[in-house]
Chain A
Amino acid sequence: MSQTPDHEGPILEIDSLSISFFTRLREIPAVMDFSVEVQPGEAVGLVGESGCGKSTVALGVMQDLGVNGRIVGGSIKFKGRDLGKMSAEELRDIRGNEIAMIYQEPMASLNPAMKIGKQLMEVPMIHEKVSEKEAYQRALEVVRDVKLPDPERILKSFPHQLSGGQQQRIVIAMALMANPSLLILDEPTTALDVTVEAAVVELVKELGRKYGTSMLFISHNLGLVLETCDRICVMYSGEAVETGSIKDVFDKMQHPYTQALFRSIPLPGADKNARPLVAIPGNFPLPHERPPGCNFGPRCDYFQDGRCNQDIAIPMEPITGDDRHFTRCLRYKEIDWHAPIKAAKQTAATEKGDVILKMDNLKKYYEVAANALFGASGATKVVKANETLTFEARESETLAIVGESGCGKSTFAKVLMGLETATDGQILLDNKNIEHIPIQSRDTKTVADIQMVFQNPFDTLNPSMTVGRQIMRALEIFGHGKSDDDRHKEMMRLLDLVKLPREFADRMPRQLSGGQKQRVGIARAFAGGARIVVADEPVSALDVSVQAAVTDLLMEIQREKKTTLLFISHDLSIVRYLSDRVMVMYLGHVVELGTTEQVFSPPYHPYTEALLSAVPIADTHVEKKHIVLEGDVPSAMNPPPGCPFQTRCRWKSQVPGNLCETEVPPVRMLAEGHQVKCHLADDILARMEPVIKIAAE
């Protein structure tokens, strides 16, 4: 089964495609009048918020829309052949052979019951009918190509024996086995840690160059698209609103939505006080409640009544002078795209108050039974989740805790909340020790003082209780008010505080959007007048346009209530935007701690340096130094000896002897309030260059 012979012209040509899903109640148009083309060797990014139809486009290309979905208009041509007119058999030949797809969740794309080697070998054996021996050679080759260590061993292992990053590499390898002409990547790195993400993105780019594969890269992350793609297509509510080359769209955007999107993400230079983010007002329209005329109309700053809401389809218009740059806006010629951002509300920086929370040499070890079945008798292993945590937090201060999964930030939160007790060291809240008191034994005041905002908005509220009830319950528990009436009033006040309409009190969580749920979560955390709020990645699961609004809300409440915010995150852009001080953690150790200014400029801890380089930034003016970490984060069960970061550190050779491998580095003060855990000599640290440079405009 050979591949389609060479074809002149675009690899993929989508022409005014419309896809609808049919439910019992109505037809739901998911994609409308969508056109894009992918030239040979080109990478096109498809960007938009969740629900905008970007994944539906990908499924449409694969002709895999399920029973409810149907293409209702337009065509998808692959190498000149219309995919919609092909038989199931022809499609089967193309899928996996000429078009390959990589999904978000690597574990879900691999068969857990089959060895990696077998799964990889299947591809050429099915599509090209090659012998087993040849297939094995090919598998070995691609595994080497995706830079996995010890390919023979990898081929013999099962998916669960590999880490998330390694699994995603295998999925990429599998996609490449057939040497496809088009690769569709649907949020391929969302489930991975930043440093691992950076390495995978690097790999995809390199392989794309090597094999000349065209790519359709679906992502919600503008920074990632900037790094990987040549062209970009911005989608909003089922339509493409702007397409063009990366440079044109990023620097000379011609659609209000694109502009609003860029203004709502924290780019270097944004500051919570002087230059706050501009959130996009309103909510994403539901597919069956789209407004007449321009879909973005109701949320647009440039909306003109009678024109933008006329009930006619708005066509994509080419921008003269640019290469294939289109926009779907009636007013793009009238808008002054270079006008400065309307002066958003500027606020003075808040005064930091007294120290209210103090950690001193906090340690949390877990004992894990080595043998699950006969736990009591078998040898136990000690997992050091937190190692000598020392810091203090002041009133109305934002302290960011940064690190990848497994770095111990969640354990730290648990110990602080009292869900676990500390192994050693102390936590002082108002100079009272609380590290050994589990939450059941804490008095109501202490519990109400330290509250938490959770990461996943879809999980943070009990799905079978009304929003009002859940807030009322928190008020009850914190002993607020004397009667149900008192509490009801207070609950309404809290809804006002988080800027939700009061009618929401009677809604069920499923009727709320992600951002609204997160607001309810914030209201619930502040029900007892919390003084310390631990926010565990509160915005990472939200869409960019909503992120800004929720972040602003947190900042505003903080200003008003003088709350101490412990902001746990792996997203350094947002950390730089809103925190006063930053603490970087790796494998349970605090590797760097200092003010935001100190941490984000050299000298860095080598891990901070790598993290900074890994975070994609959606700004064409930013030049980043390229640092890719090898391998994965070591398991906390089996940490490396000496410095926890020594296995991936690129500066290790600069330290004399094998100091890094034998001794845990001491905490060193580099400047007032800036500490680093590293063996590197002062002069080497001083020579470090900044990772991020903003090129002159």
Chain B
Amino acid sequence: MNKDALSWGAIFGQMIIQFAPVLILLVITFALSLAFKRRLGLYGKLFDSTVGMIGLALVLFWVFTAFFAGVFDMVATHDPLDQSALMKKALPGTPYSKLIGTPDPNAGAYYLLGGDNLGRDVFSRVIAGSIKVILIAPFATVFAFMVGITLGLPAGYYGGRFDTVLSFLSNLVLAFPVILLFYLLVTPEIVQTGIPVYMAAVLFIFPLVFLVILWNSRYHTQPMKRNVYLAITLVIGIWVYLGIAWDADPLGLIRFPPNVLVVFVSVVFVNSPTVFRIVRGLVLDIKTRDYVAAAQTRGEGPWYIMLWEILPNARGPLLVDFCLRIGYTTILLGTLGFFGLGLESESPDWGKMIIDGRRLLSANILHIAIPPAIALLTLVLGLNFLADGLREESLRD
């Protein structure tokens, strides 16, 4: 205890130094994008809208943070799991010290945003939390889109009974209270019956089906090319599928922690019906276009028309929804953590951190709950702004 606590100014200065690589990369990205924005299509047009730029900056900030923290172990000052009895509920800027054991020599000298109720560094935990969010939210959303698209395309294209049944099922899922569903899914008894794994097995087969149909419909006139694409897709796809869904990777390389799988499955399950409905609606509109009729009159198969004629032209609204949905998923992950349903209790999870800090808010200890809340807020806000910007720009000229 030979050092004084940092002032707020010094804390911010230190944080900026910690974030330096992130900020530098952000500035470079923006400078390059602004310089070449006319050649970058829709992404370039984003730089014409202030809202879009703010959104992109916020999102990229967290993506880069997760990247530097996850890959190079930069940005964070401490091990997010390292506890120090001396630092329990320590105020922001308190110098780092340890009662038991030797302090980590590589760790920073201060707890920039203070310590939580177990004496862990709040700043580092927020940074580490971003890795989880940036990894899970977009991928879960991608899976939800794959499921929604693969089912929504034929539902909209064929209509009829198939559509009625699927729409009914999706309404059923949407009508079910989300939180209750999660409680059910993570209950040990349910986990033991293997329901989450079976659900994963069903949900994760969709991307594979999607890609197989995609290649087949496109290249069925050139069997050689198709077989090559299909072989690559199937080998990699089945390998990944076995690893992720069944935890049965023959090479033992791909594993998915069971509790992450449960979160993943729940998020995909809850999001895909909404995507299904959006895709179905778009298909209903686009299938009346002449180029669809032109494809039909030259004898194209239904899946080619759905995947190559209709889907690319639905990309605008889907892209916007994709951004928004990552935001919802991020909130959902936070909510799950908040209810203690998310990842393991130790791991730094924004939602979990907020609930831990919440109990101390009444004791006027704000610094534990506020930083993860701000992190969550800025990321979701960024995604919403980005979606707004994309929508605005894609509507123009």
Task: List the interface of chain A (C-beta within 8 A of B).
Answer: 23-24, 417-419, 439-440, 442, 444, 447-448, 450-452, 454-456, 459-465, 474, 476-479, 521, 524, 528
Contacts and interface: CB of A to CB of B under 8 A. Distances in A.
A476 B222 contact: yes
B313 A454 contact: no
B287 to A, nearest CB: 12
B9 to A, nearest CB: 40
A477 B291 contact: no
Nearest to B316: A464
A465 B296 contact: no
Contact of B313 (A455, A463, A521): A463
B92 to A, nearest CB: 44
Contact of A456 (B290, B301, B308, B309): B290
A521 B298 CA distance: 12
Given A24-B48, A464-B315, 17 more contacts: A419-B296, A439-B296, A439-B299, A442-B299, A447-B298, A447-B299, A452-B294, A452-B297, A454-B290, A459-B289, A459-B291, A460-B290, A463-B291, A464-B313, A474-B298, A477-B298, A524-B298
19 contacts: A417-B296, A419-B293, A419-B296, A442-B299, A447-B297, A448-B298, A451-B297, A452-B294, A454-B290, A462-B295, A463-B291, A464-B312, A465-B308, A465-B312, A474-B298, A477-B221, A479-B221, A521-B294, A524-B294
A382 to B, nearest CB: 20
B300 interface: yes
A102 to B, nearest CB: 28
Contact of A440 (B221, B222, B294, B299): B299
Contact of A476 (B221, B289, B312): B221
B331 to A, nearest CB: 32
Contacts of B297: 417-419, 439, 447, 450-452
Across chains A and B, which 5 residue pairs bring their CB atoms closest together, nearest first? Answer: A464-B312, A459-B290, A454-B290, A447-B299, A462-B291
A326 to B, nearest CB: 35
Interface string B276-300: 0000000000000111011111111
Nearest to A483: B222
A502 B363 CA distance: 75
B210 to A, nearest CB: 18
Given A455-B290, A477-B221, A462 B309 contact: yes
A375 to B, nearest CB: 10
Nearest to B309: A462
B298 A440 contact: no
A454 B288 CA distance: 13
Contacts of A447: 297-299
Nearest to B222: A476
A479 B220 CA distance: 11
Contacts of A454: 290, 293-294
Which among A450, A451, A454, A456 has the highest number of chain B CB atoms within 10 Å? A454
B304 to A, nearest CB: 9
Interface in B334-391: none
A384 B294 CA distance: 25
B312 A477 contact: no
B312 A462 contact: yes
A440 B290 contact: no
A260 to B, nearest CB: 30
Interface in B123-151: none
Contacts of B222: 476
Contacts of B308: 465
A233 B86 CA distance: 89
A39 B121 CA distance: 83
Interface in B205-223: 221-222
Contacts of A478: 298
A447 B301 CA distance: 13
A142 to B, nearest CB: 36
A528 B298 contact: yes
Contact of A451 (B290, B298, B315): B298
B299 A444 contact: yes
B301 A440 contact: yes
Contact of B300 (A455, A461, A477, A479): A477
B221 A460 contact: no
A30 B50 CA distance: 28
A418 B315 CA distance: 30
Contacts of B289: 459
A8 B325 CA distance: 64
Contacts of B294: 452, 454, 460, 521, 524
Contact of B299 (A459, A462, A477, A521): A477
A464 B309 CA distance: 8
Interface string B304-338: 00001100110100000000000000000000000
Contacts of A419: 293, 296-297
Contacts of A442: 299
Nearest to A439: B299
B179 to A, nearest CB: 34
Contacts of A465: 308, 312
Nearest to A452: B297
Contacts of A456: 290
Contacts of A479: 221
B359 to A, nearest CB: 51
A496 B58 CA distance: 50
Nearest to B219: A476
A461 B296 contact: no
Which among A442, A444, A452, A455 has the highest number of chain B CB atoms within 10 Å? A452
A73 to B, nearest CB: 25
Nearest to B225: A484
Contacts of B312: 462, 464-465
Contacts of B290: 454-456, 459-460
Nearest to A469: B308
A462 B48 CA distance: 27
Contacts of A460: 290-291, 294
Nearest to B314: A464
A448 B300 CA distance: 12
Nearest to A443: B299
A201 B222 CA distance: 56
B164 to A, nearest CB: 11
A444 B291 CA distance: 19
A528 B297 CA distance: 12
A476 B294 CA distance: 15
B47 to A, nearest CB: 11
